[in-house]
């Protein structure tokens, strides 16, 4: 048991009604999960305001309520604590409740528009191969060693983060690699965490439905580095024009990585094919099964992280060349007839362009490139015509289709995308709202050696339609289409 007073240490309190010296059971942000002697934190979300469920939480046994606005009526058996920001209070209380697990291992956060999942996944794979018991918090999955815990958000809520970190500590994890989204920074989900290091990958247009302006988006990412302690390292991508901006106010030790000669950690692409890359990292040649210059940057970041965490370079080189990479990130699926399928999470204009550029750099030019791409519903509409224009300008054929339409009509999303397609390019484009049919159609259009890019969903195994997640996996659908076409 913990006392409420201890759990509230460090929280800015405006007002208290009742005594905070009593023992409490657990912290909860969902009133449905409340048990006797729990504390209910009333979080104001995008769609739901936790303050509406205070009475429900009390009826289920909550002994204390943390809120931004005091209720009109008080229950004498309940303690009410008014704070400026319930999200920030939750983060600090969660860290206190689980006894600051982030201080008991080396926590490395990775932020940026693209590359986060690949870098944390590669880092987890590398350190596991190096014999270090390692944790992972990512979009694809959370891991404690080899044990997989399903993941649904890039960065979970602060209560879940601290719970997972504490479980990692209990199981002996020495290091944890964690994706840090811009939403998580703004929503105080990482407040109270102690980071050993922070990594910036790149920043391009994304999430402008939430952040409103690109400047706001940059500031959200930068705030992560502003919070890093002096004891930490701040590793930034020198090849991104905003790299140095991210770390300009950090107290942490600044280190750069990139293809530029003055970076602290440098990489050069010597050869590339669909089978892999031959790289030179810090003067040593390294072969990897990963493909694309963006993966050269990702691998370099992982190498730099390992060195900054004190790992000797020789075993890092040896193990780095053998790791397989992240699911749904330039994942290759070959048909028996020689069609090259590539499934990639590219869901922003920049990531789509980089993926297509990688294919362009490798291909001979004789084969057709068919790109299947869509844009998510209820998200930044401004990138829709950009995505279509990039796909059309870099492919022989393009099929515009659904990609998590959510509560928008798929055809309307495609109409927005078509605004980026010039009249002279329209003969290259098919509009097929059903993603399964789009994938099947793409396969029927191929000849041996042709390339299909399925962009936007990557590792995801669902389609979000009308508020429901329906099973759907690009990789499995492509395999089925191959079999059907080869009959």
pLDDT in tens, 343-383: 999 988 988 999 999 999 999 989 999 999 999 999 889 99
CA dihedral over 168, 173, 178, 184, signed as positive or negative: positive
Same domain, 124 and 187: yes
In a domain, 316, yes or no: yes
Same domain, 274 and 406: no
Question: Which of 58-67, 123-132, 143-152 has the least mean pLDDT?
Answer: 143-152
Q: Output the pLDDT for position 251.
A: 98
Q: What is the CATH number of the domain that holds 9?
A: 3.40.1390.10
In a domain, 263, yes or no: yes
Same domain, 302 and 358: no
Whether 159 and 29 have beta carbons less than 8 Å apart is answered as yes
Same domain, 42 and 129: no
Same domain, 86 and 193: no
Of 394, 405, 411, the closest CA to residue 453 belongs to 394
Distance CA(358)–CA(49), nearest Å, equals 45
Q: Which of 64, 80, 97 is the last residue of a domain?
A: 97
Same domain, 114 and 130: yes
pLDDT in tens, 402-449: 999 999 999 999 999 999 999 999 999 999 999 999 999 999 999 999
In a domain, 326, yes or no: no
In a domain, 312, yes or no: yes
Q: What is the CATH number of the domain that holds 460?
A: 3.90.190.20
In a domain, 325, yes or no: no
Same domain, 117 and 243: yes
Mean pLDDT, to the nearest integer, of 201-222? 72
Beta strands in 358-476 (DSSP E): 369-373, 397-400, 429-431, 451-455, 462-465, 468-471
Beta strand 265-273 with 253-258: parallel, antiparallel or unpaired? parallel
Q: Output the pLDDT for position 204.
A: 79
Q: Which of 65, 97, 129 is the last residue of a domain?
A: 97
Q: Which domain holds residue 37?
A: 2-97
In a domain, 387, yes or no: yes
Same domain, 106 and 92: no
Q: Output the pLDDT for position 152.
A: 62
Q: What is the CATH number of the domain that holds 280?
A: 3.40.1190.10
Q: Could you give the number of structural domains in the chain?
A: 3
Q: Which of 56, 81, 97 is the last residue of a domain?
A: 97
Q: Output the pLDDT for position 214.
A: 73
In a domain, 112, yes or no: yes
Q: Name 263's Cβ contacts closer than 8 Å, sequence gap at least 6.
A: 238, 256, 257
Same domain, 105 and 68: no
Q: Decide if pLDDT at 269 tops 50.
A: yes
Q: Mean pLDDT over all residues of the chain? A: 93
pLDDT in tens, 154-186: 568 999 999 999 999 999 999 999 999 888 888
In a domain, 225, yes or no: yes
Same domain, 337 and 463: yes
Same domain, 35 and 91: yes
CA dihedral over 236, 238, 244, 249, signed as positive or negative: positive
Same domain, 132 and 226: yes
Return the number of other C-beta atoms located less than 10 Å from residue 389's C-beta: 19
pLDDT in tens, 52-69: 999 999 999 999 999 999
Q: Output the pLDDT for position 211.
A: 41
Distance CA(311)–CA(467), nearest Å, equals 45
Q: Decide if pLDDT at 210 tops 80.
A: no
Q: Output the pLDDT for position 207.
A: 45
Mean pLDDT, to the nearest integer, of 75-96? 96
């Amino acid at each position: 048991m913990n006392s409420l007073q201890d759990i509230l240490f460090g929280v800015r309190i405006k007002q208290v009604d009742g005594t905070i010296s009593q023992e409490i059971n657990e912290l909860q942000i969902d009133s449905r999960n409340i048990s006797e002697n729990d504390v209910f934190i009333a979080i104001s979300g995008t769609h739901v305001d936790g303050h509406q469920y205070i009475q429900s939480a009390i009826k289920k046994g909550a002994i204390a309520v943390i809120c931004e606005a005091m209720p009109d009526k008080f229950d004498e058996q309940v303690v009410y604590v008014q704070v400026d920001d319930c999200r920030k209070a939750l983060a600090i209380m969660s860290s206190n409740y689980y006894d600051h697990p982030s201080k008991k291992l080396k926590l490395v956060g990775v932020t940026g528009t693209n590359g986060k999942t690949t870098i944390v996944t590669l880092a987890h794979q590398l350190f596991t191969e190096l014999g270090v018991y390692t944790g992972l918090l990512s979009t694809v999955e959370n891991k404690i060693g080899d044990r997989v815990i399903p993941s649904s958000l890039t960065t979970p809520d602060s209560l879940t983060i601290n719970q997972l970190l504490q479980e990692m500590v209990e199981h002996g994890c020495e290091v944890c690699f964690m994706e840090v989204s811009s939403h998580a920074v703004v929503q105080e989900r990482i407040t109270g965490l102690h980071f050993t290091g922070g990594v910036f990958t790149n920043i391009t247009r994304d999430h402008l439905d939430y952040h409103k302006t690109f400047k706001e988006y940059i500031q959200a990412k930068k705030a992560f580095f502003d919070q890093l302690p002096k004891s930490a390292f701040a590793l930034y991508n020198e090849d991104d024009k905003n790299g140095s901006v991210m770390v300009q106010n950090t107290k942490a030790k600044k280190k750069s990585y990139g293809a530029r000669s003055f970076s602290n950690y440098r990489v050069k692409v010597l050869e590339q094919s669909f089978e892999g890359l031959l790289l030179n990292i810090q003067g040593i040649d390294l072969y990897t099964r990963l493909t694309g210059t963006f993966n050269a940057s990702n691998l370099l970041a992982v190498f730099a992280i390992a060195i900054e965490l004190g790992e000797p370079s020789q075993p890092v080189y040896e193990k780095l060349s053998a790791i397989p990479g992240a699911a749904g990130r330039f994942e290759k699926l070959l048909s028996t007839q020689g069609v090259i399928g590539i499934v990639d999470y590219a869901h922003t204009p920049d990531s789509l362009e980089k993926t297509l550029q990688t294919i362009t750099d490798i291909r001979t030019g004789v084969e057709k490139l068919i790109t299947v791409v869509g844009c998510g519903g209820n998200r930044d509409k401004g990138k829709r015509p950009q995505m279509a224009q990039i796909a059309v300008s870099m492919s022989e054929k393009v099929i515009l289709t659904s990609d998590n339409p959510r509560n928008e009509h798929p055809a309307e999303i495609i109409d927005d995308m078509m605004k980026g397609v010039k009249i002279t390019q329209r003969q290259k484009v098919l509009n097929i709202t059903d993603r399964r049919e789009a994938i099947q159609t793409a396969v029927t259009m191929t000849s041996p050696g042709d390339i299909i890019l399925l962009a936007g969903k990557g590792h995801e195994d669902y389609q979000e339609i009308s508020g429901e997640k329906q099973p759907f996996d690009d990789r499995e659908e492509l395999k089925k289409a191959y079999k059907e076409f080869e009959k």
